Amino acid sequence: MSKTKLHTTKKQFEGAHEIADTGRARKVEIPRKMLYALLMDHSNMIGKLGHDVLIVPGENDDARS
Protein backbone atom coordinates (compact mmCIF):
# COMPACT_ATOMS: atom_id res chain seq x y z
CA MET A 1 0.00 0.00 0.00
CA SER A 2 1.40 3.38 -0.97
CA LYS A 3 1.14 6.51 1.12
CA THR A 4 -0.48 9.77 0.09
CA LYS A 5 0.74 13.13 1.32
CA LEU A 6 -2.03 15.39 2.56
CA HIS A 7 -1.68 19.13 2.04
CA THR A 8 -4.47 19.94 4.51
CA THR A 9 -3.66 19.89 8.20
CA LYS A 10 -6.19 18.54 10.65
CA LYS A 11 -6.70 22.09 11.93
CA GLN A 12 -7.41 23.39 8.39
CA PHE A 13 -9.81 20.52 7.70
CA GLU A 14 -11.74 21.14 10.91
CA GLY A 15 -11.70 24.87 10.22
CA ALA A 16 -13.22 24.36 6.77
CA HIS A 17 -15.98 22.23 8.29
CA GLU A 18 -16.65 24.87 10.90
CA ILE A 19 -16.89 27.58 8.24
CA ALA A 20 -19.31 25.48 6.19
CA ASP A 21 -21.41 24.50 9.21
CA THR A 22 -21.75 28.01 10.59
CA GLY A 23 -22.39 29.73 7.26
CA ARG A 24 -26.02 30.79 7.04
CA ALA A 25 -25.88 32.18 3.52
CA ARG A 26 -25.57 30.23 0.30
CA LYS A 27 -21.99 31.40 -0.07
CA VAL A 28 -19.21 31.03 2.42
CA GLU A 29 -15.66 32.31 2.24
CA ILE A 30 -12.56 30.31 3.09
CA PRO A 31 -8.93 31.31 2.72
CA ARG A 32 -7.47 30.58 -0.73
CA LYS A 33 -4.66 28.47 0.75
CA MET A 34 -7.19 26.28 2.57
CA LEU A 35 -9.22 25.75 -0.61
CA TYR A 36 -6.09 24.96 -2.61
CA ALA A 37 -4.93 22.39 -0.05
CA LEU A 38 -8.36 20.71 0.03
CA LEU A 39 -8.47 20.55 -3.77
CA MET A 40 -4.97 19.07 -3.95
CA ASP A 41 -5.89 16.42 -1.37
CA HIS A 42 -9.09 15.55 -3.23
CA SER A 43 -7.20 15.26 -6.51
CA ASN A 44 -4.51 13.05 -4.94
CA MET A 45 -7.08 10.74 -3.35
CA ILE A 46 -9.01 10.36 -6.63
CA GLY A 47 -5.71 9.63 -8.38
CA LYS A 48 -4.90 6.89 -5.87
CA LEU A 49 -8.28 5.25 -6.47
CA GLY A 50 -7.45 4.92 -10.14
CA HIS A 51 -10.07 3.95 -12.68
CA ASP A 52 -12.29 2.10 -10.19
CA VAL A 53 -14.21 5.27 -9.31
CA LEU A 54 -17.93 5.72 -9.77
CA ILE A 55 -19.02 9.33 -9.40
CA VAL A 56 -22.61 9.49 -8.22
CA PRO A 57 -24.38 12.83 -8.49
CA GLY A 58 -25.34 14.14 -5.07
CA GLU A 59 -27.93 16.57 -3.81
CA ASN A 60 -25.41 19.44 -3.93
CA ASP A 61 -24.46 18.94 -7.58
CA ASP A 62 -26.85 21.56 -8.95
CA ALA A 63 -25.42 24.56 -10.81
CA ARG A 64 -26.15 27.25 -8.21
CA SER A 65 -23.94 30.30 -8.34
For residue range 47-63, list pLDDT tens digits in order: 887 777 777 777 655 54
Which of residues 59 and 18 earns the better pLDDT score?
Answer: 18
Domain segments of the chain as ranges:
1-59
- Given pLDDT bands bounded at 50, 70 and 90, which one contains residue 64? very low
Task: Determine if residue 50 is left, alpha or beta; phi over 0 gives left, psi from -120 to 50 gives alpha, anything else beta.
Answer: left
Residue pLDDT, tens place only, 21-42: 886 777 888 889 888 999 999 8
Q: Please tell me the predicted confidence (pLDDT) of residue 1.
A: 65
Q: Please tell me the predicted confidence (pLDDT) of residue 29.
A: 84
| CA–CA gap between residue 38 and residue 43 (Å, rounded) | 9
Helices 10-22 and 32-49: angle between axes, nearest 10 degrees: 110
| CA–CA gap between residue 58 and residue 3 (Å, rounded) | 28
